[in-house]
Structure 1
């Protein structure tokens, strides 16, 4: 969900607005207020998801891409169930690591429902990535989202077209549900080799 702020606002306001907007696209049931990101805490967080995810969500998010498509094809899980499990896990990860820039839950949920309806009505999967929840780095443009690439000047600028990669993934049946941070290396003006 794009940040609601004037493009002429001071950078401090734009930064705060962006930070505050990240969870706007995440359903309330996936937000755990007891979890909090802290720069000064170097503790391992690997075990945290198991304290908040259900057994079903843990099982789903432990599958690889092929396994996910298979369980959807076998009707063990729906695209919506798989999306919800991955959104929940991503919300926990973001809360602990500050790693996400934009959740697209509403759009992703609508796409997952469309895929579920299509499969129910036709018995056919749409593409090799059918129902697979995918996160993309923030340099990928998605209509209706912001692509900041880590630059505060891009906060509030809404994309009007998709990146080619995004179109390819969506045509293959993927459900893009979150945009994640870029490495600091993306901001460097040179390649460093030793």
Structure 2
């Protein structure tokens, strides 16, 4: 079953859940919520836009957003396009953000419009998650990504004072999630 397969990518596990319960609430943030189908459709719109910009397997996409529904839409959209996300915390100092953008060489940066003024100079194509996605298709995009492709790159504090990127493939992330589900008996309904 794909829903529990170690040979699936992260976004494929999500798409399996969409098929199982499209009308169930997938995401709640403050007073906003999205069903699995709504979240999937919005992530698909972003994925199609990213693919138009050349995002595919092993292509890094930076994402600098506040905690929100947009954050999850952005992460899923990147994965569905086949790319790997590089999270940038908007509370980081500008020089750390600049280093991470330069070091990762991401060709695309996802951001919320309100955060544009805090970003350092960079050469990435910018997509504002809260304004730029209305006209793209909502069906699942075709993806050539495999479990051995990158899912994300996290920058650590770095023992030398410079952040270091740690690359994680889909296989490792899926194995960790499946292990957590099994160890802690994660069920369909979990409230935080």
Interval of TM-score (by shorter of Structure 1 and Structure 2)? under 0.3
TM-score relative to the length of structure 1: 0.27
Report which of the two has the higher share of strand.
2
TM-score relative to the length of structure 2: 0.27
Report which of the two has the higher share of helix.
1
